[in-house]
Chain A
Amino acid sequence: MSGMPSVTSAAVRESTVIPPQTRRRRFLPRLRPLQRGATAKAPKPKRNIIAVLREWHSRAGLVAFAFLIWLAGTGVLLTRSNDLGLDTARLDWPWLMDLYGLHATPPQSGFAAGGHWLASTNDYTLVDGKPLSTQVGAPLGMVADGDAQMPLLYIASPDSVVLIAPDGQRIDKLMPPILPVSTVRRIGTLKRDPHTVVVQDLDAYQSHDQGNTWSPVSPTDVDWSQPQALPQAQRDQALPYAKPRVIVEQVLIDLHSGRLFGPVGAWAITIIGFVAIVLAVSGIWMWWRIRQNRKRLTAR
C-alpha cells in the first residue's frame, strides 16, 4: 500500500506542478456548456436519412412488438377457427360478459296453453323451463291441441309452426306449402272448438287435422295466443338458460380488432396498423438505400 501513490497525493503533486492560470484555462471550456444551459449543445453532425429511418424503425418496432404478437396470435386462431370448432363454441365467462356489457336476464313474458308455458331466451326455446333440442326462432304464440293420448303443442314462428309433445320431443314442422300462409303473423284456436288450430298472415286458415288440410275462417272467431307475464317460478327456471354467451370466433374478431376494449381498443389497433405500415415501408426503404449506397461504393 505504501508504494502506491494516493489520489490526494497526486492532486497535491499536480497543483504544485501546474500553474493556476493554466489550470483555469483547461477547466473553463468544460464548464461553459453548463453555464449556457441544456439548449446550447455542441452542433450534432448532420444525419442521413438511413440513420433517421433506422431510429424511427426501432422505435416503431418497440411500440408495435406486443400488439403484433397479439394480432398474429388472434389472426392464426381465426384462420383455423373452423377446424378448431371456434366458430360454434361459446363462452359465458362472467368477466368476459362484463366486458361486453351482457348480463343474464330471464324472460319477462311468454305464452301459456294447455297448462304449459313457453318462454324464449337468446339461445333456447323453453317449455315449462326445459329447453327444446332445436330452438324455435322468435316464437309468436303457442296453442294446445291433440287428444288425451297424444297432446300436442303448436309453437308458431314467422316461418313455421312446430308441433311438439309436452315433454319437448319435436313431432313435426309445418312450413309452406304445408302451411297456407307464407309468413305466420299469429296463431290461435277456434272459440267454438279449441281443438281447431288457426294461423293468420293476411287471411286466417283453420285446420282440424294437425295441419294436413286448411280452410279459411273469420279472424273474429278465433282466440289468438297472446303474450302473458311469466310467473316467477317459470322465470327462475329460465334464468340458467338466459346466461349470455358469445361465440369464440366473435371474441377473437373483437380481440383482433380491439373492439372488445371499446373505442380505445379499436383506435389502438388502428394506430398499430399504421405503425406496421411505417415498419414495412421504412424497412424496405432502408434496405433499398443501403443497397444503392453499396452499389455506388462498388462502382468507385
Chain B
Amino acid sequence: MPGDAPGSSARRALLRGLFALPLLAVAVRKAGAQDVELAKTFQTPEAFITEAFAPAAAPPPAMLMLDAARQAQISAVLGHPYPQARLRYWKAAGRSAWIFDDIGKEGYVPTTCGFIVANAAIEHARVLIYRESRGAQIGEPSFLRQLIGAKAAGNGLDKHVDNISGATLSVNMMQRMARAALVLDSLTT
C-alpha cells in the first residue's frame, strides 16, 4: 500500500505465514494418517520357501527337536532359548531354509524372518513380517545384502553390518537371527 512503512509488507507476510502454520499441520496429519499400518508383510512365508528352492519344488518340511543341549547353543547366540520345543525347516541339495521369530527386546512384538543357509554361510536373508512400529528399514534389500555370505565368528558374524539410525535394536536382532540360523543349520548335519 502506498504510504506504508518499508518493513510493513514483510511483517504482513510473516503474520500470514504464522497463521498458515496450523493449516499446514492439519494437512500433514491427514497425509500421515493414510500411512499407518500395524504389520508390514515384505514377503509371505510360502513365497519365501517357493523362491528359496525354485525352480525345483520345495522339499517337505523336516522337524528339529530343540532339547536342552540344543537350546543352550541357541541361547548363546540369540540371548534366550527359542520359545518352542521344536522347529520346522526345509532342506535340499545342501541348502536349508528357516523361518522363525524373534524380538528386538523384551516387550516388543516378534518379527518373522527367513534365512537360507548353504555351506555354513547365509545365502539369503529376508524380513517376512515386521510388526513393530519403527525399524522396518531392516526389511530393505540394501540392508539385507550385508548379511549375504556371513559366517559364524564366535557368537556373532564375521561380517560388519552397518547400523540404521533409529533401528538399532532391529539391526541387532537381525544379526542375532542370522547367527541363530547358522546354529540351527549346524544342528541338522
**Contact residues of A with B, CB < 8 Å?**
82, 85, 87-89, 133-134, 169-173, 175-178, 182, 212, 277, 281
Contact between A176 and B83, CB atoms less than 8 A apart: no
Q: Is the C-beta of B31 less than 8 angstroms from some C-beta in chain A?
A: no
**Chain B residue contacts of A89, Cβ below 8 A:** 107
The chain B residue with its CB closest to the CB of A169 is B85
The chain A residue with its CB closest to the CB of B88 is A178
Contact between A170 and B44, CB atoms less than 8 A apart: no
Excluding A172-B85, A172-B86, A182-B46, 11 further A-B contacts by CB distance (< 8 Å) are A87-B107, A169-B85, A170-B85, A172-B88, A176-B44, A177-B50, A177-B58, A178-B88, A182-B44, A212-B63, A277-B21
**Chain B residue contacts of A171, Cβ below 8 A:** 84-86
Q: Is the C-beta of B141 less than 8 angstroms from some C-beta in chain A?
A: no
Q: Is the C-beta of B67 less than 8 angstroms from some C-beta in chain A?
A: no
**Chain A residue contacts of B45, Cβ below 8 A:** 175-177
**Chain B residue contacts of A176, Cβ below 8 A:** 44-46
Report the separation of the CA atoms of residues A89 and B108 in the bound assembly, to the nearest whole angstrom: 10
Report the separation of the CA atoms of residues A157 and B3 in the bound assembly, to the nearest whole angstrom: 75
**Chain A residue contacts of B14, Cβ below 8 A:** 281
Contact between B49 and A170, CB atoms less than 8 A apart: no
Report the separation of the CA atoms of residues A134 and B86 in the bound assembly, to the nearest whole angstrom: 15
**Chain B residue contacts of A173, Cβ below 8 A:** 84
The chain A residue with its CB closest to the CB of B49 is A177
| Tally of contacts, chain A with chain B, CB under 8 A | 45
**Chain B residue contacts of A177, Cβ below 8 A:** 45-46, 49-50, 58, 61
Q: How far is the CB of A4 from chain B (nearest CB, A)?
A: 62
* Interface bin, chain B: 20 to 34
Contact between A88 and B107, CB atoms less than 8 A apart: yes
Q: Is the C-beta of B105 less than 8 angstroms from some C-beta in chain A?
A: yes
Contact between A133 and B83, CB atoms less than 8 A apart: yes
CB within 8 Å of A: which B62-109 residues: 63, 83-88, 99, 105-108
Report the separation of the CA atoms of residues A182 and B86 in the bound assembly, to the nearest whole angstrom: 21
| A interface: dominant SS | loop
- Residue from A169, A177, A212 whose CB has the most chain B CB atoms within 10 Å: A177
**Chain A residue contacts of B18, Cβ below 8 A:** 277, 281
Q: How far is the CB of B4 from chain A (nearest CB, A)?
A: 15
Report the separation of the CA atoms of residues A248 and B61 in the bound assembly, to the nearest whole angstrom: 42
Q: How far is the CB of A166 from chain B (nearest CB, A)?
A: 14
List 12 interface pairs A-B (beta carbons < 8 Å), by A numbering: A87-B107, A88-B108, A172-B87, A175-B45, A176-B44, A177-B46, A177-B50, A178-B61, A182-B44, A212-B63, A277-B21, A281-B14
Contact between B84 and A172, CB atoms less than 8 A apart: yes
**Chain A residue contacts of B83, Cβ below 8 A:** 133-134, 170
**Chain B residue contacts of A169, Cβ below 8 A:** 85
Report the separation of the CA atoms of residues A281 and B85 in the bound assembly, to the nearest whole angstrom: 63
Q: How far is the CB of A203 from chain B (nearest CB, A)?
A: 16
The chain A residue with its CB closest to the CB of B108 is A88
- Residue from A89, A176, A182, A277 whose CB has the most chain B CB atoms within 10 Å: A176
CB within 8 Å of A: which B46-63 residues: 46, 49-50, 58, 61, 63
| Given A169-B85, A171-B85, A212-B61 contact (CB < 8 Å) | yes
Report the separation of the CA atoms of residues A89 and B105 in the bound assembly, to the nearest whole angstrom: 12
Report the separation of the CA atoms of residues A87 and B132 in the bound assembly, to the nearest whole angstrom: 11
The chain B residue with its CB closest to the CB of A173 is B84
Q: How far is the CB of A215 from chain B (nearest CB, A)?
A: 14
